[in-house]
Amino acid sequence: MGCGGSKSAKADAGGAPAPAPAAAPAAAAAGGVKVFAMPPSANAIGPVILAMDAGAGALELCDLMKGEQNTPEFLAMNPFHHIPTLKDGNFAIGESIANLRYLAIKYKKEYYPVDDAATCGMIDFAAESFSNEVYPKLGPKVIYGVAGFAPAPEDQATANKEATDAIATWMTHFVKGKYAVGDKITIADFKAVPFLFASMQPVIEKKTGFVLSDRAKQYVEDFMAAVKSTEIMKSAGGFSIVEYIGSKDPDAGEPSKYTKVDLTAAPPLGQPDGKVKVHGMPPSANAVGPTLLAMDAGCGGFEMCNLMEGAQNKPEFLALNPFHHIPTVQDGAFAIGESGACLRYLALKYKKAYYPVEDPQACGLIDFALESFANEVYKKIGGPLIYPVLGFAGPAEDKEKALKEANEAVDTWVKHFLKGKFVNGDKISIADFKAVPFFFYLMQPVMEEKTGFKLSDTVKTYVNNFIAAVGASAFMKEAGGYSIVEFAASKA
């Protein structure tokens, strides 16, 4: 259902490659946008539904079973060989949320109202926390085993509980009205609903025992009633979410019934006051980016959240971010988490040049760069390389493999995105605030000494150009003994 587009396609439950439709299913007449995807993929179908809803485009089949994600033509669009990948004329980007945001900014502005930074910030927080907190518990642990995309977990009952808890936390914090972030549909709904809808299918309940909450089911049904293009999740030549999952047990029966509740209007978002606090810790590269941006924009700065003392689990912090993570941005009565969401909010509200919404393609590329860094590069350099040196994780089991994968991920990202001085050509953007702190860590002498990883001169120049342009970068060098430079040096 996530169908990230790995180099070798997943097998179904019987061990044979999962079948794919010979041609893309018929879609409503639409514009020229092509969303490369497969109908059973909950991760890819959201942008397809939005493109169809906006009249901007439709599904373009990318048959992972035939390896179409690894052709030169596809890799030119998305070097990380994943679906969904969106093509609009000569412009192409990957990453599900980046696709959704681009489509909204260019073709359906009410789904991402860029003139309202607080609403967009909460939309991003909802979409990204679903991706980072709910999806890992729901997709691989509940849906994929039934669909044949992954082995079933050893303890399904525990997996079900973890998925239920994650969904409940997400629903409670975000779905306070009819949809996520209020009573109007947004891109956060296009991200969340396909996965929740997949989990509602009778086969999932029968084979795993997982039952989606009544409130979540009502949220899904309300969204699907309002967005007619969601029909592609029910019928797509035998390969829609309903049809594909249903094929795993044709005798699973009808969907379980649920009790609807009367909904009240969503409460208004808390109001920003221009005095931003970025809750984090100085050695956290993930939290440093929003801190630098807040300082650079002159709207606020760092606020210590001492994870070692459990500050992230206190009631007052959990009211800001129920997923107890840093960074968390607090701006008056408004608060959001997730690094990318924090960066985008700060740019939309206080430094528009770093996310120029008047140029949808620039924003799309910025989002693709930021999100692919988080999803592709960070995973290869954070846990395997940086964190063991800092004492945040154990060493990689296979050091040589970890080095090879880190080098490949960094090189792929750099070649695709650094065509100029920064990601957005000669202009700094939020993507640079995301990537630079991690690359800066890798430039510290102790990293090469203890891991053997050598950052290229190209990347070092990129980092130095950013530091020269952003005076607030001094925070990475000196912060009471706990800056990136100081903390890394203490591990030498």
Amino acid at 297: A
Classify domain 117-246 at the CATH class level: mainly alpha
Residue 31: per-residue pLDDT: 80
Instruction: Give the whole-angstrom CA distance, residue 435 versus residue 373.
Output: 7
Instruction: Give the whole-angstrom CA distance, residue 59 versus residue 242.
Output: 17
Q: How far is CA 114 from CA 122, 211, 255, 310, 324, in A?
A: 12, 36, 38, 35, 27
How many residues belong to the chain? 492
Q: Which long-range contacts (CB under 8 A, 24 or more apart) does 172-175 make?
A: 172/322, 173/322, 174/122, 174/125, 174/126, 174/129, 175/215, 175/216, 175/219
Terminal CA-CA length for the chain: 44
Instruction: Give the whole-angstrom CA distance, residue 99 versus residue 417.
Output: 16
E strand or H helix at 52, and its extent? Answer: helix 42-53
Query: Where do the structural domains in the chain lie, given as residue ranges?
Result: 33-111, 117-246, 276-353, 358-489
Residues in the chain with pLDDT values less than 50: 1-29
Give yes or no on whether 117-246 and 358-489 have one common fold: yes
Instruction: Give the whole-angstrom CA distance, residue 293 versus residue 375.
Output: 21
Per-residue pLDDT tens for 131-149?
999 999 999 999 999 999 9
Residue 30: per-residue pLDDT: 59
Shortest CA distance to 32 belongs to which of 104, 79, 87, 70? 87
- Identify whether the C-beta of residue 164 lies closer than 8 Å to the C-beta of residue 213: yes
Homologous superfamily (CATH) of 33-111 is: Glutaredoxin (3.40.30.10)
- Identify whether the C-beta of residue 474 lies closer than 8 Å to the C-beta of residue 467: no
Q: What is the DSSP letter of 19?
A: P
Instruction: Give the whole-angstrom CA distance, residue 163 versus residue 146.
Output: 15
Residue 303: per-residue pLDDT: 98
Instruction: Give the whole-angstrom CA distance, residue 72 versus residue 25.
Output: 24
Q: Residues 6 or more apart from 1 whose CB is under 8 A from it?
A: 40, 41, 42, 43, 139, 143, 144, 147, 149, 194, 195, 198, 241
Could you tell me the two tokens for 127?
A: 């979409």
Name the CATH topology of 276-353: Glutaredoxin (3.40.30)
Per-residue pLDDT tens for 433-452?
999 999 999 999 999 999 99
Q: How far is CA 251 from CA 13, 202, 206, 233, in A?
A: 17, 9, 10, 20
Could you tell me the two tokens for 86?
A: 């969106």
Classify domain 358-489 at the CATH class level: mainly alpha
Q: How far is CA 300 from CA 140, 304, 400, 487, in A?
A: 39, 13, 42, 23
What are the helix (H) ranges across 227-382? Answer: 241-246, 285-297, 315-318, 339-350, 360-372, 378-381
Per-residue pLDDT tens for 213-232?
999 999 999 999 999 999 99
Residue 2: per-residue pLDDT: 44
Q: What pTM was computed for the model?
A: 0.94
Instruction: Give the whole-angstrom CA distance, residue 372 versus residue 340.
Output: 11
Sheet holding 300-304, edge to edge: 300-304, 276-280, 328-331, 334-337
Q: What is the DSSP letter of 87?
A: E
